[in-house]
Amino acid sequence: MPEWLHSLRLRLRALIRRPQLEQDLQDEMAFHLAMREEKERQAGAPADEARIRARRQFGNVGVLKNRTRDVWIWPWLQDVGQDTRFAVRMLYRARGSTLLTVICLGVGIGVSTAIFSIVNALLLRPLPVAESDRLIRISRGQETALSIPLLRAVGSGTRSLRAVAGTLSMESDLAIDGESQFIGAEFATANYADVFGVRPSLGRWFVDDREPVAVISDAIWERYFDRRPDALGRVIQSGTDSYTIVGVAPREFAGVRAPLRTDLWAPIETRFRSTTEAEERRLARMLMFFGHLRPGAHAREATTELNTLAIQMRDRSGSTPEASTPLLADAVGTLPNPGSRRLARTLSALMGAVVAVVLMIACVNVGHLLLARGALRQREFAVRRALGASRARLLRQLLTEALVLAVAGTLCGVVFALWAGTILERSLPLAAGIFAIQVDLSLDWRALVFAAGICAVTTVLCGLLPAWRVSGMSGMLVAQGSVGASARRRPVGLVAQVVMSLVLLFIGASFVAALLRLHAMYPGFAVAGRLYAYTFLPSPPFAPDSRRGVYAQALDRLRTLPGVRLAAVTSSLPLIPAGSDCASLSPDSPVRVTSSAVDPAYFEHAPRNPGATPPFTGAR
Amino acid sequence: MGAQDKEAEILQGTLELLILRTLATGEKHGYEVADWIHTASADALDVEEGALYPALHRLELRGLLAAQWDVSANNRRAKYYRLTPSGRKRLREATESWRRASSAINRVLEAI
């Protein structure tokens, strides 16, 4: 064992068994004195004289005991222990204000930690997959990154990539036992699980791009199958296909649309073969590609390699070179979807600002409480200074008190954050609308480190100024009774507090105002008196051809209902695009647009210049 | 703080060497160590006996000594110290460097 480790072990033991150490020191030195005394007596000294000689020979027992104790327990640690004990006693004596302070800090730190846990879940915590640092996303600006032939060519690995998977993330329907609902689904290549390092918590992942099998999410497993293992082998429907359940994805894995939850994973070909060619081209543009780097390989190498391969493939196929941005492979990090990532960043910056202000207000509040308490204790500090305590010593004492408060506040805050986290997690589905959202807001080590950091910051922020002021007061002045000489300076803190409260109030008010404005704003389409409902027709029994009839019938019936003036059908609501497409005005500048299939009545809801004709009138 | 204190301070570094040397003759408690140093130096080294203890404990903390509570010859509880293998090694090295230093100093003092 290295010497320092041995020492540390002994030091810790001494620290834990402090009373034992004291007893041993006492016994050891008493034994020495007794032996020496005995020897002096044997040499003929009288009993009193023998004791005095033994003591003289030994030296100052108290001092030597202290020096020996210092060998075991670092002197600074002894001071900290002493300060802490004293601080706890002082805080206990002023229970009322201590409780108030702790609650104030607890709420401040709790809110901050709860908000941090959101940022943590969205931006900091890596994707819950094996070797998440080697997972990369392959993209090409707004275009399809890899053509299907290229995906086939690189799927089973290249020099820098172990495997490349493609996945089509889309909204779909899922029917289980006749009950159907909207879900997020992914149609992926068979090596998807391998690339993401996802191990099903039950059953297996699909191994073939064509087999009609599916993996369901933990949430679906719980909701429809009560977590029973006999869910495997059950048949479910999605789109026009039936799938046999072969596996259940681990609970923490939400898929590539995170924080929106994917509920169904099925082989890619099962989706492609069931659609028309035009639809297939559209779907291919929505594919997302992910790769898993070989050990030691870097995303930059993968980028270079993939671009080279893409150019080779294009040359070989002899197709005309199209204007295209080069491929880019970059680390996935926390959220696979770049859109979600951008949104999460904006959201986090906003929330970070709110956290800072909340925390500042809590600190200023607590600082004032401490200052007020310090003012009451000026006599105590005056006496201590008169007795020779240095300013640094008093400062340390006061900071220790602030630290004890901050630690208590942080513990209180962590409990608060745990509670707030569960509430938030429960209310998330409300925010996400019809799609399930899955964010893990549990407090992990990052959140705890954050809380500890905040604890340290609050200690300094709310403890330092009052401590500096109180400890700096002249002992004489205070003893004579001219207390409160510094009271005139207090308004500075007060002003800061009011300013920050106002800022927070203003931010809150402007959010509410924005919300009200959004409600009042005319979004370009009529919203008053409009209702919408999501629906879809499972197939079988509704073949694609019969669907139009079904919808037409439904619309006719809706229109005859009393109170219904108009009824229309669309594939997506305004502002909530369901899919994207490419349109081009000239051959070399494809533009990404979102498209909706609508029926003519839809435009009755849209604003038009009076007298203008609707864009189209009949179904084609 | 006087001249005596300074002398004791100079002794401090060598005190550890003396303790290691003393314990090389076998397991001893603090009092025996003090006594042995007195006797061996023919009472020339008049150490403040209590100063032994910080030094003993420091050596124990560094793993050069191992300590154990036992019952002494006169039936009292006493703490016994003995050299560990690394203590023995340290004693060899310290003795060697002490010899070198003291002979060098001697040469300087005796130079004309």
Q: Give the whole-angstrom CA distance, residue A471 versus residue A486.
A: 12
Q: Which of B7, B19, B61, B70 to mutate to test the interface with A (most CBs of A within 10 A)?
A: B61
β-partners of residue A181 are: A174
Question: What is the DSSP-derived secondary structure letter of residue B94?
Answer: H
Compare CB distances from B54 to A27, A31, A71 and report the shortest one's residue.
Answer: A71
Helix (H, G, I), strand (E, B) or coil at B48: coil
Q: Which residues contact B81 (CB under 8 A, 6 or more apart)?
A: B23, B27, B28, B29, B30, B33, B56, B59, B60, B65, B66, B67
Share of chain A above pLDDT 70, in %: 81
Contact with chain B for residue A30, Cβ under 8 A: no
A571: pLDDT strictly greater than 60: yes
Tell me how crowded residue A433 is: count the other CB atoms within 10 A of its CB.
12
Q: Which of A13, A58, A73 to mutate to test the interface with B (most CBs of B within 10 A)?
A: A58
B98: pLDDT strictly greater than 80: yes
The predicted structure's pLDDT at residue B57: 92
Residues from chain A contacting residue B76 (CB–CB below 8 Å): 31, 34
The predicted structure's pLDDT at residue A432: 55
Contact with chain B for residue A15, Cβ under 8 A: no
Q: At A603, is the pLDDT very low, low, confident or very high (cuts 50, 70, 90)?
A: low
How large is the average pLDDT for residues A32-57?
90
Alpha helices in A258-390 (DSSP H): 268-272, 277-285, 299-317, 338-376, 378-386
A202-203 and A241-248 beta bridge pairing: antiparallel
Helix (H, G, I), strand (E, B) or coil at A439: coil
Q: Give the whole-angstrom CA distance, residue A242 versus residue A289.
A: 25
Q: Give the whole-angstrom CA distance, residue B63 versus residue A2.
A: 9
Q: At A331, is the pLDDT very low, low, confident or very high (cuts 50, 70, 90)?
A: confident
Helix (H, G, I), strand (E, B) or coil at A187: strand
Q: Which residues contact A126 (CB under 8 A, 6 or more apart)?
A: A132, A133, A333, A334
pTM over 0.80: no
The predicted structure's pLDDT at residue A489: 52
- Nearest-Cα distance to chain A for B100, in Å, is 26
The predicted structure's pLDDT at residue A528: 74
The predicted structure's pLDDT at residue A321: 52
The nearest alpha carbon in chain B to A7 belongs to B61
Share of chain B above pLDDT 90, in %: 48
Q: Give the whole-angstrom CA distance, residue A189 versus residue A196.
A: 12
Name the amino acid, one letter, at A351: M
| Residue given tokens 């603090």 in the structure block | B30
Compare CB distances from B31 to A10, A32, A71 and report the shortest one's residue.
Answer: A32
A213-216 and A241-248 beta bridge pairing: parallel
Q: What is the edge-to-edge ordering of all strands in the sheet holding B77-83?
A: B28-29, B77-83, B65-71
Residues from chain A contacting residue B57 (CB–CB below 8 Å): 68, 71-72
Q: Which residues contact A30 (CB under 8 A, 6 or more apart)?
A: none
Q: Give the whole-angstrom CA distance, residue A160 versus residue A134.
A: 11
The predicted structure's pLDDT at residue A286: 78
Contact with chain A for residue B68, Cβ under 8 A: no
Q: DSSP secondary structure string, A486-537?
A: TGGGTHHHHHHHHHHHHHHHHHHHHHHHHHHHHHHS--SS--TT--------
Q: Give the whole-angstrom CA distance, residue A282 versus residue A565.
A: 35
User: Could you tell me which residue, A570 or A449, shows the higher pLDDT?
Assistant: A449
Q: Give the whole-angstrom CA distance, residue A375 versus residue A371.
A: 6
How large is the average pLDDT for residues A125-153?
78
Check B62 against A3: CB less than 8 A apart. yes
How large is the average pLDDT for residues A8-22?
88
Contact with chain A for residue B50, Cβ under 8 A: yes
| pLDDT tens column, A347-403 | 888 888 888 888 888 888 888 788 788 777 778 888 888 888 888 888 888 888 888
Q: At A342, is the pLDDT very low, low, confident or very high (cuts 50, 70, 90)?
A: confident
Residues from chain B contacting residue A58 (CB–CB below 8 Å): 48-50
Contact with chain A for residue B57, Cβ under 8 A: yes
Q: Which residues contact A56 (CB under 8 A, 6 or more apart)?
A: none
CB pairs under 8 A between A and B: 69
**A400 near A84, Cβ under 8 Å?**
yes
Contact with chain B for residue A70, Cβ under 8 A: yes
Q: Give the whole-angstrom CA distance, residue A557 versus residue A406.
A: 66
Helix (H, G, I), strand (E, B) or coil at A313: helix
Max Cα distance, chain B (Å):
57
The predicted structure's pLDDT at residue A276: 65
**A119 near A125, Cβ under 8 Å?**
no
β-partners of residue A139 are: A328
Compare CB distances from B49 to A7, A27, A59 and report the shortest one's residue.
Answer: A59
Angle at A336 between CA A146 and CA A121, to 5 degrees: 175
Q: Which two tokens stand for residue B90?
A: 């340290």
Contact with chain A for residue B107, Cβ under 8 A: no
Question: What is the DSSP-derived secondary structure letter of residue A576?
Answer: B
Nearest to A351 by CA among A107, A104, A117: A117
Q: Which two tokens stand for residue A61?
A: 């027992």
| pLDDT tens column, A266-311 | 998 887 765 566 666 667 777 888 998 888 888 888 888 888 888 8
User: Could you tell me which residue, A512 or A605, shows the higher pLDDT?
Assistant: A512
Q: DSSP secondary structure string, A210-231?
A: S-SEEEE-HHHHHHHHTT-GGG
The predicted structure's pLDDT at residue A492: 64
Q: Give the whole-angstrom CA distance, residue B42 versus residue B48.
A: 15
Name the amino acid, one letter, at A281: R
The predicted structure's pLDDT at residue B64: 92
Contact with chain B for residue A20, Cβ under 8 A: no
Q: At B21, is the pLDDT very low, low, confident or very high (cuts 50, 70, 90)?
A: very high
The nearest alpha carbon in chain B to A71 belongs to B58
Compare CB distances from A72 to B34, B61, B79 and report the shortest one's residue.
Answer: B61
Nearest to B29 by CA among A31, A520, A158, A498: A31
- At A583, phi and psi to the nearest 5? -125, 150
Most confident option among A240-249, A534-543, A569-578: A240-249
User: Could you tell me which residue, A540 or A326, shows the higher pLDDT?
Assistant: A326
Contact with chain A for residue B15, Cβ under 8 A: no
A620: pLDDT strictly greater than 50: no
**A262 near A167, Cβ under 8 Å?**
no
The predicted structure's pLDDT at residue B1: 40
Compare CB distances from A64 to B34, B53, B77 and report the shortest one's residue.
Answer: B53
How large is the average pLDDT for residues A601-607?
61
B82: pLDDT strictly greater than 90: yes
Check A71 against B61: CB less than 8 A apart. yes
Check A58 against B29: CB less than 8 A apart. no
Q: Give the whole-angstrom CA distance, residue A475 versus residue A479.
A: 6
Compare CB distances from A32 to B49, B60, B74 and report the shortest one's residue.
Answer: B49
Q: Give the whole-angstrom CA distance, residue A441 versus residue A418.
A: 9
Check B30 against A28: CB less than 8 A apart. yes
Contact with chain B for residue A67, Cβ under 8 A: yes
Residues from chain A contacting residue B60 (CB–CB below 8 Å): 10
Check A64 against B51: CB less than 8 A apart. yes
- At A545, phi and psi to the nearest 5? -70, -35
User: Could you tell me which residue, A596 or A579, shows the higher pLDDT?
Assistant: A596
Compare CB distances from A58 to B49, B72, B78 and report the shortest one's residue.
Answer: B49
Q: Which of B39, B57, B74 to mutate to test the interface with A (most CBs of A within 10 A)?
A: B57
Name the amino acid, one letter, at A441: L
* Chain-centroid distance, C-alpha A6: 40
Q: Give the whole-angstrom CA distance, residue A580 versus residue A593.
A: 6
Helix (H, G, I), strand (E, B) or coil at B27: coil
Compare CB distances from B63 to A3, A31, A60 and report the shortest one's residue.
Answer: A3
Q: Which of A25, A27, A31 to mutate to test the interface with B (most CBs of B within 10 A)?
A: A31
Check A59 against B29: CB less than 8 A apart. no
CA dihedral B35, B36, B40, B41 (to 10 degrees): -50
